[in-house]
Amino acid sequence: MLSRIRWFLIIGGVLVLAIFSLANTENVPLTMPLVFNTELPLAMLLAVSFLIGFMVGSLWTAWMLRRPAAHKTSGRSASGKGASGKGSGTKAPPATAPSSTEPADRPPDPHLP
């Protein structure tokens, strides 16, 4: 159900962007001091800014989803050190209670690799 809603919103957003772009085809000045001064069609400027925003959002989301997984793996590698913290070869005893951030009855996240 959520997948259908997501696709409806994506297709709707693309249609609105396409209609808006076709309605605004005049050239607009784009000036960046000391770098360039040019005129571009408004449709191209909108499409490029939409694409940049989408890519930044995608990368940010991927980073946020992978961040807890990286934190868990770094915690596991540090637990192999001995009580002195010098890596004496003895492992620390396993924790007796689950951490408060991750209950034991929680299923694994299917979106994480």
pLDDT averaged over the chain? 76
Per-residue pLDDT averaged across 57-76, rounded?
75
pLDDT digits (tens, 9 = 90+) for 79-113: 555 445 555 556 666 656 555 555 567 777 777 76
Residues in the chain: 113
Residue listed under structure tokens 């689950």: 98
Distance (Å, whole) CA 6 – CA 92: 46
In one letter, which amino acid is 52? I
- Report pLDDT for 20: 82
Residue 57 reports pLDDT greater than 60: yes
pLDDT band at 71 (very low <50, low <70, confident <90, very high): low
Residue 93 pLDDT: 62
Residue 22 is predicted with a pLDDT of: 82
Distance CA 75, CA 89 (A): 17
In this prediction, residues 56-70 reach a mean pLDDT of 83
Task: Tell me what pLDDT residue 67 has.
Answer: 77
